């Protein structure tokens, strides 16, 4: 159990709701979750935290660098554990599943494009929306 240290290192005191949210992400059963997802999963497992707290904790974790926030189409933002290595996303339009990828060539070209125009990249988001052509696509999360 090393979550308390994660929180300490992030300058956050270790409280019950924070530990619950963090371990939900660390359980790995669901990598990308919205605030609502987290709230419902916690309720379902008997832990009752307030929805407002979930939102607060997610935002704090994002600022602390423990989680990364993504804005996909559809308005709601989703979070995932920050594992240091940047990556982009392919979102399956059939089932909503999210796959991650990293392409060196794309990353390099982006730097070039920005530099050519006099920009210095702070962040970027590449979201590919696609249909999964493989049969194993669940077609439902």
Other residues' Cβ atoms within 10 Å of the Cβ of residue 48: 10
Q: Let me know: does 59 contact 45? Beta carbons within 8 Å.
A: no
Mapping DSSP to helix (H, G, I), strand (E, B) and coil, where does residue 98 land? strand
Structural Rg of the chain based on CA atoms: 17
- Which CB, 3 or 77, lies closer to its own copies? 77
Query: How far is the CA of 35 from the CAs of 82, 103, 108, 111, 134, in angstroms?
Result: 16, 29, 33, 32, 30
- Which helix (H) or strand (E) element contains residue 25? helix 16-27
Least distance from C-beta 43 to DNA, angstroms? 10
Residue 134: contacted member of DNA, its own copies, none (CB under 5 to 8 Å, by partner type): its own copies
Judged by CB under 7 A, does residue 34 bind DNA? yes
Residue 44: contacted member of DNA, its own copies, none (CB under 5 to 8 Å, by partner type): none
Judged by CB under 7 A, does residue 17 bind DNA? yes
Residues 71-90 that bind DNA (CB under 7 A): 75-77
Residue 43: contacted member of DNA, its own copies, none (CB under 5 to 8 Å, by partner type): none
- Which CB, 59 or 132, lies closer to DNA? 59
Q: Where along the sequence are the contacts to DNA (CB under 7 A)?
A: 12-18, 34-36, 48-53, 55-57, 59, 75-77
């Amino acid at each position: 159990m090393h979550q308390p240290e994660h929180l300490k290192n992030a300058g956050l005191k270790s409280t019950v709701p924070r530990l619950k949210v963090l371990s939900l992400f660390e359980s790995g059963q669901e990598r990308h979750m919205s605030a609502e997802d987290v709230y419902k999963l916690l309720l379902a497992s008997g832990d009752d935290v307030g929805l407002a707290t979930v939102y607060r904790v997610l935002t704090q974790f994002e600022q602390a660098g423990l989680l990364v926030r993504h804005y996909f189409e559809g308005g709601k933002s989703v979070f995932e554990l920050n594992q240091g290595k940047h990556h982009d996303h392919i979102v399956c339009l059939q089932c909503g599943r999210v796959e991650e990828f990293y392409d060196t060539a794309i990353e390099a070209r982006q730097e070039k494009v920005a530099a050519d125009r006099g920009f210095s990249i702070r962040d970027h988001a590449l979201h590919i929306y696609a249909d999964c052509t493989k049969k194993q696509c669940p077609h439902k999360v």
